[in-house]
A = this chain, B = another copy of it.
Amino acid sequence: MPDQQKDATVHLSLDEVRDLAHAILTREGLGADHIGPVAETIVAGERDACASHGVYRLTNCIRTLRSGKVNPQAHPVVRPSASAVVRIDADGGFAQRAFDLGLPLLIEKARTHGIGLLAINHCVHFAALWPEVEAVVAHGLVALACTPSHAWVAPAGGTAPLFGTNPIAFGWPRPEGDPFIFDFATSAVARGEIELHRRTGKAIPEGWTIDADGNPTTDPEAGLSGALLTFGGHKGSALSAMVELIAGPLIGDMTSAESLAHDDGALASPYGGELVIAIDPEGILGDAAAGHVARAEALFTAIRAQGARLPSERRFAARRHTPQTGVDIPRALYEELAAFA
């Protein structure tokens, strides 16, 4: 590696990433039983070469902790609900600890009833959703997850921010090898992509944003003070509205507009609800389930035979080498985190 590139990055093993995350979260006053779950999300991001969901996200955690918009000592509790539903009140804490509490209950609901629904309320969500769906899929179940965020995205045909970037994630267990997992924002692009263009002074493609007057713009500055657009026009917009509804009011929690109002300029991570649905193929098909799940392999084989990729392939590929090779963190980010400390 050339010296210049070497200087621009700091090489860390995944254990060192974990130590870094633990050290920073401890210094920032996060409760002991939250540090592990939150740190593992950071490690998973680096392990999968998702730079935007790795160590970089610690800056969000720090900002959120310092703003007082997350409860560092939250004690998640189970609330009453119908028999196939698990409802967890995260007590204003980061979502990870609440999810860890809810996961075994959700698995049990899905195994007992064929389908189960996990509603996490009053949580701060700063991460991707694939850790959640992968955790469900590891039990041989099918998973669907979504969460609102902050109101940065305009509805199709609209002129101003209303929806969050509202990710949808899905997971399907495969008998061998990596599961089928996708996780995408219903916005045309991540807000961070536009910020990156602004910093480097580059125009953004059409279809990403509108300006404050609701007109299409390729100026990242104008786009950031206007609104992002959804992916896929009115269809993506409809899906984004669905996420607002089913991971918002349906589970008694905030919409993205309410989350942004709650933030009140703190620039903390979104606050509100998260919805995870788990389905047990055996609850539908009994003993025949394994045969049908195996039959789905023909679909994946056919996708690959066309030269197309399965979603998350790159993440799983990275996962096979980063435990040995470690990862490179931008030095500027590394020093920013150290300065915080």
* Cα distance, A310 to B248, chains bound together (Å): 18
The reply to whether the CB of A123 lies closer than 8 angstroms to some CB of chain B is no
Q: Which of A275-325 contact B (CB under 8 A)?
A: 277, 279-286, 288-289, 292-293, 295-296, 298-299, 302-303, 306-309, 311
Q: Closest CB of chain B to A306's CB: distance in Å?
A: 4
Residues of the B chain whose Cβ atoms lie less than 8 Å from the Cβ of A157 = 306-309
Q: Closest CB of chain B to A284's CB: distance in Å?
A: 5
> CB distance A306 to B236 under 8 Å?
no
Residues of the B chain whose Cβ atoms lie less than 8 Å from the Cβ of A158 = 303, 306-308
Q: How many copies does the complex hold?
A: 2
> CB distance A299 to B85 under 8 Å?
no
Q: For A115, A257, A309, A311, which residue has the most chain B Cβ atoms within 10 angstroms?
A: A115
A83-B113, A298-B255, A306-B157 given as contacts; is B279 within 8 A of A250 (CB)? yes
22 A-B residue pairings within 8 Å (CB atoms): A81-B284, A82-B113, A82-B283, A82-B284, A84-B84, A85-B113, A85-B284, A115-B277, A117-B279, A117-B284, A157-B308, A157-B309, A158-B308, A162-B299, A184-B235, A231-B232, A232-B233, A248-B296, A249-B293, A250-B281, A250-B292, A257-B298
* Cα distance, A288 to B232, chains bound together (Å): 34
Binding site secondary structure of chain A = mixed
Interface size on A, residues (CB 8 A): 76
Q: Closest CB of chain B to A111's CB: distance in Å?
A: 8
Interface string of A163-190 (1 = CB under 8 A from B): 0000010101000000010101010000
> CB distance A284 to B87 under 8 Å?
yes
Q: Closest CB of chain B to A125's CB: distance in Å?
A: 18
* Cα distance, A142 to B182, chains bound together (Å): 24
Residues of the B chain whose Cβ atoms lie less than 8 Å from the Cβ of A246 = 142, 279
Residues of the B chain whose Cβ atoms lie less than 8 Å from the Cβ of A196 = none
